[in-house]
Structure 1
C-alpha cells in the first residue's frame, strides 16, 4: 500500500493550532492512519540495535547520559526512507500552520525515534527552560500496536506548578501529543513491553530574542 504523502486535513492542523494557542497542549488520537503508523513502526523496527544510541540529557558541551533520569534509546530521523519523508512532510505542514496562525517564528523541526524497552523510563523534566532554549513546541507521536493499560509506559503531563498530572496519555499508535516545551513538565512511566515513539521539537533560531517576542 502506498504511503500517504498528501497534506493532512486542514481540520487536524486547526485543532492543534487552537490547542497550542489556548491551553498550550493537546492530545490527538488518529493523527495518522493505521497504515502510515505501521509503516513508521516497521521503519523503526528494521533498525539494528547498534544504530540506536542511549539517550542523553542536556545539549552541546553539557550533553551526557544519566540512567537515573532516562534509559530509552534513540535514532534521529534524517528523511532517508519513504516513511520518514512522509512524516517529516506532515510536520512541515504543521509548522507552516503554526507560523501562519500564531506567528511563532518556528524555523525547523528535529525529531528522533525513541525505544523504551521493558523497565525503561524518563523521569519528570522540561524540554526547554524559559528564555534559554530554542525549542518552542514538543511533539510525541506513538507507533505502538495494540497497546494496553497493563503495558505501562504512560506519558504524564503536569502543569507548571502541579504535583498531580493534568493528563495521563496511553502511548497508543497513531496518537500525537503537542505542547509548549517551556510550560509542561512531563515524564514517561516504566514500560512493560517495548514502547516506540517519535519525539520532536519545533525550534526557533535565537532563544533569547524569540522568548521576548512570544
Structure 2
C-alpha cells in the first residue's frame, strides 16, 4: 500500500512540474527590465521638462522684444510720457524689465531724479531655475539695455543717444547650473530677433 501511495505521489509531483508557469529567475529578469525602462523614461521626462521651460522662456523673451518694438513703432504713449521703449537684462537675474524711456537716453534708469526715472512697464519672471546667464555686449553692472526709438524703430544696445555700432546683442538663458541646457536669443541692429 505504501508503494501505491508513493507511486501516486511521484506521478502527481512530476505532473505538477510539467505545468506551464514562470520560474523565479524569469520573474526577476522581467522586473529588472521593467525597472530599467521605467528609470530611463523618468530621466528623459525630467530632461524634457527642463528643455520645455528653457524653450518657453526663450520664446517669451522674443515675444517681449517684439512687443517693445511694436510699442515704439506705434508710438504708444510716446508723446505723453516716453521717448523710447526697451528691455533691461541683468546678468544672473531670474527676471527682466520692459521699460518706457523718460529721459531719452535709451538706457534703463531706475535711480536719481524721479521725473527722469524710466517707468517699468512690466517685469517678466523667467520660469523656475531659468536665469540670464550671459549678456553681450555687457556694461557695468553686468547688464544689457536693448532700446527701440521711433519711428523706424532704431535699435540701440547700451547706448546713450548714439546708434549702435555693435551689429548685434545676445541674451543667453540657462536652466540651473547645467551648461548643456542653454538658449541664446540674438537681436541685430536692424531689430531682427532669433533663437539659437
Q: Please tell me the TM-score bracket, short chain as reference.
A: under 0.3
Using CA pairs below 8 Å that are at least 6 residues apart, which structure has the higher relative contact order? 1
The two structures have a TM-score, normalised by structure 2, of 0.28
Which structure has greater helix proportion? 2
The two structures have a TM-score, normalised by structure 1, of 0.26
